[in-house]
Structure 1
Amino acid sequence: MNNLELQALRYLFFLSVKESATWIAGDSDTETWSQWESGEKEIPEDIIVKMEALRLIRKERIAAIVHKINDRIGNNTMRYFTSFEDFLQVYPGGDFLQWKLYQSAAAELFSRNLERLC
């Protein structure tokens, strides 16, 4: 994974640099994360593995929702949680990264005109 791909995935997952440093790198070091994205420092293998795992989770969730859409009759609507707290009301066992991936998937499905957001 190169620096541009890291940045693209961060954007795709709706994460800020600070959120990525906190939730993915686990150290809140925004300077180092920014250096990875600028190409100044090599991206550690464990960060690449985590980002690829998140990309796979997102892809699988979208595929599962599309499968359900194909079997659904009526309106296709998907909740869009504007805050982590709202997400936890519906998914009490969820975590911050699950919320971000959910939002990313919802936006993707909306952009494909497969779901309306509510």
Structure 2
Amino acid sequence: MLSAHETIRAEQARVDDLLTLIDQCGDVAERANAVRFDQLVHQVLGIGHARTLTSSESWGAVSSALSRAEEQKMDPAVLSRTSWGGRELETVDDIGAVMSFRMQGHIERALAADVDQT
């Protein structure tokens, strides 16, 4: 068993490891985004559609697409609404995969339009 001083030194060494802190920060940010985007799609799409989307296998890809949209100064609520409004989604196998694909397409088109304007 470690003494109190040894335990403190070991914990300080662990926390001082920059790579560990970077990984932990990224993990916390990813989880925070998932919670935030879960709430967002519930507000934008309604409870039923949002539950279907957030419980899909590809919800992580949707959350990543929404995060990428924010990084590009796009409104994730608008992106969610626009992506949902395409072809019907009732018969798809993985609604998250379809939504992620649609979102990526919207993001790419927006980026291409920005490049064309500059």
TM-score by length of 2: 0.31
Query: Greater helix percent: which structure?
Result: 2
Structure 1 or 2, whichever has the larger Rg, is 2
TM-score by length of 1: 0.31
